[in-house]
Amino acid sequence: MLREVLEWLAIRPDGVYVDMTAGLGGHTREIARRLTTGWVLANDRDAASLEQARRNTREEADRIRFHRGDFSGLREALREQGVEQADGVLADLGVSRYQLTSPERGFSILSDGPLDMRMDQSQEVTAADLINHGAEKQLADWIFQYGEERRARKLARAIVRARPIRSTAHLADVLEKAVPRTGPLHPATRVFMALRIVVNQELEQLGELLQSAPEATRPGGRIVIISFHSLEDRMVKERFRNLARAGQAVLLTRKPQRPGEDEVRDNPSARSARLRAIEVRGSVQAAA
């Protein structure tokens, strides 16, 4: 949703912007191209993705600063650059193409690889730890809550019985045998999503961002978030509405914006994207 992101950020040539999920640098590059004396902070907690972003944005290097960190470090990252607030903050919560297409990262059911799924590979807990050592009830709860999978108990039971599970392909096979495919969606899809959310503490990280971003955005600045999961979108919607009710922000998108038909055709993974945007007004309290 590049066109929509650029529209809602309303980029000023002399502004300061933060791309909290730089990935391979696509959004970062396009923001930088619209700057003259301003700059954009490209943040990601995946060191490998951030290195790819550096290479992909070489032509705009004079307007980009890089930072490795998670959502909770937004304000500290800005202070390291000598500023307190940005003119705009962007977060695209989707998994990057680099992560999905790298079998060794373990994010995809389409190729065999280790049960990893860590966005920050310096952290200790992997998907293998959850799969092979988690209690059956805990696994079922994760799959039901984060994967929104109604057959969670059956799938968790199959996982426990098949231990030790050695790889992504092994896990996908176990799940497909437990719940045979009846439509286009592989039975492992929602389980993989749930595991990824838990491994990376994605909802907790999003909560941190939703608290800190309004404080880290100057009055008149904008926050744009693209979510891909109903739980994420619900958190964004509620936080943005609470800020608007308190008079601390203006809702720019009353309903989430969705990608157009052309984009979905060219990039099917964009079909579940939901974009919401606000403009910050006045002082924002951390506990709002």
Instruction: Output phi, psi for 265, to 5 deg.
Output: -65, -40
CATH code reported for the domain at 121-199: 1.10.150.170
149 neighbors 190 (Cβ within 8 angstroms):
yes
In this predicted structure, the answer to whether residue 200 has a pLDDT above a threshold of 50 is yes
CATH class of 2-98+202-280: alpha beta
CA distance 48 to 40: 19
CA distance 245 to 250: 9
Domain-wise residue ranges, the chain: 2-98+202-280, 121-199
3-state secondary structure 136-195: HHHHHHHHHHHHCCCCHHHHHHHHHHHCCCCCHHHHHHHHHHHCCCCCCCCCCHHHHHHH
pLDDT tens digits along 76-95: 999 999 999 999 999 999 88
In this predicted structure, the answer to whether residue 251 has a pLDDT above a threshold of 70 is yes
In this predicted structure, the answer to whether residue 75 has a pLDDT above a threshold of 80 is yes
CA distance 262 to 268: 10
